[in-house]
Structure 1
Amino acid sequence: MKTEQKILITATVPVLKENGVLLTKYFYNRMFTHHPELRNMFNMGNQQSGKQQTALAMAVLAYAEHIADPTVLIPVVDRIGQKHISLDIRPEHYIIVGRHLIASIQEVLGDAASPEIVDAWTAAYNQLAALMSGHEANLYEQQTNRTNGWTGWRPFKVGKKMLESAEITSFYLYPADGGKVTPHQPGQFISVRLFLPQLNLKQARQYSVSSAPGNEYYRISVKKEKGTNLDTDGMISNRLHDFINENDIVDLTAPAGNFTLAPDIDAPVTLISGGVGITPLLSMLNSLVESDYSHPITWLHGCRDESVHAFRNQLNDIVKTKTNVQQHVFYNQATDENKDAGVLEGFLDINKVPSLNLRPDAHYFICGPSVFIQKQYHDLVDAGVNKQHIYFEEFGPQLLSLN
Structure 2
Amino acid sequence: MLSNSVIQTIKETAPVLAEQGLKITDLFYQKLFLNHPELQNIFNMANQAQGEQSRALAESVFMYASKIDELQELTPMVKRIANKHASLSIQPEHYPIVGKYLLEAIEEHLELPKSHPILDAWRIAYNALADIFIATEEDIYLENEQKIQGWRGFKPFKIDQITTESKGIKSFYLKAEDGRHASFEAGQYVGVRVKPEKSDYEEIRQYSLSNAPGEDFYRITVKQEGHGSEFPGTVSNHLHKAKVSDTVWLQPPTGDFTIQSPDSSHITFIAGGVGLTPLLSMLLQQLKTMDANKITFIQCCRDSEHHLMKKAITNLQQRYGFHYYVAYEVESGADHQGYLTKEVLQKWLPDNTQPDVYFCGSKPFMSAVNKMCSEIGISEQQRHYEIFGPTTTLS
Q: TM-score range by the shorter chain?
A: over 0.9
C-alpha change, 1:108 and 1:226, in structure 2 (3 Å) is closer
Deviation at 1:355, TM superposition (A): 4.7
C-alpha change, 1:120 and 1:72, in structure 2 (3 Å) is same
Deviation string for 1:277-309 (max 9, x for gaps)? 111100011111233545510011111111111
Please list every run of 5 or more consecutive structure 1 residues that lacks an aligned counterpart in the other structure.
none
Q: Which moved more, 1:96-105 or 1:27-36?
A: 96-105
What secondary structure is seen at the aligned counterpart in 2 of 1:212? coil
Deviation at 1:361, TM superposition (A): 3.5
C-alpha change, 1:239 and 1:208, in structure 2 (3 Å) is same
Give the aligned partner of residue 218 of structure 1.
218
Aligned alpha-carbon RMSD (Å): 1.7
Query: Which residues of 2 match residues 200-219 of structure 1 at below 5 A?
Result: 200-219=200-219
Query: Which residues of 2 match residues 37-52 of structure 1 at below 5 A?
Result: 37-52=38-53
What secondary structure is seen at the aligned counterpart in 1 of 2:240? helix
Match of 1:282 among 280, 283, 305: 280
AA in 1 matched with 2:329: N
C-alpha change, 1:114 and 1:12, in structure 2 (3 Å) is farther
Counterpart Cα distance in 2 of 1:385 and 1:113: 50
What secondary structure is seen at the aligned counterpart in 2 of 1:205? strand
| Count of residue pairs brought into register by the alignment | 393
Give the aligned partner of residue 236 of structure 1.
235
Counterpart Cα distance in 1 of 2:63 and 2:112: 24
Give the aligned partner of residue 249 of structure 2.
251
Deviation string for 1:255-291 (max 9, x for gaps)? 1111112474333110000110111100011111233
Q: Is 1:190 aligned to 2:190, yes or no?
A: yes
Q: Does the aligned pair in 1 maintain the 2:342–2:376 contact within 8 Å?
A: no
Question: TM-score, normalization: structure 2?
Answer: 0.95
C-alpha change, 1:265 and 1:182, in structure 2 (3 Å) is farther
Q: Does the aligned pair in 2 maintain the 1:271–1:300 contact within 8 Å?
A: yes
Deviation string for 1:106-137 (max 9, x for gaps)? 11111376522211111011101011111111
Q: Which moved more, 1:110-119 or 1:250-259?
A: 110-119
Q: Does the aligned pair in 2 maintain the 1:330–1:345 contact within 8 Å?
A: yes
Q: Does the aligned pair in 1 maintain the 2:77–2:392 contact within 8 Å?
A: no
Query: Which residues of 2 match residues 100-111 of structure 1 at below 5 A?
Result: 100-111=101-112
Deviation at 1:212, TM superposition (A): 0.3
Q: Is 1:333 aligned to 2:330, yes or no?
A: yes
Counterpart Cα distance in 1 of 2:196 and 2:64: 35
Deviation at 1:101, TM superposition (A): 1.0
Q: Which moved more, 1:255-264 or 1:3-12?
A: 255-264
Give the aligned partner of residue 61 of structure 2.
60
Q: Does the aligned pair in 1 maintain the 2:191–2:250 contact within 8 Å?
A: yes
Q: Which moved more, 1:393-402 or 1:311-320?
A: 393-402
Q: Does the aligned pair in 1 maintain the 2:273–2:301 contact within 8 Å?
A: yes
Question: TM-score, normalization: structure 1?
Answer: 0.93
C-alpha change, 1:230 and 1:141, in structure 2 (3 Å) is farther
Match of 1:371 among 364, 369, 376: 364
Counterpart Cα distance in 2 of 1:216 and 1:180: 8
Query: Which residues of 2 match residues 17-96 of structure 1 at below 5 A?
Result: 17-96=18-97
Please list every run of 5 or more consecutive structure 2 residues that lacks an aligned counterpart in the other structure.
none
Q: Does the aligned pair in 1 maintain the 2:173–2:217 contact within 8 Å?
A: yes
Counterpart Cα distance in 2 of 1:350 and 1:203: 39
C-alpha change, 1:239 and 1:157, in structure 2 (3 Å) is same
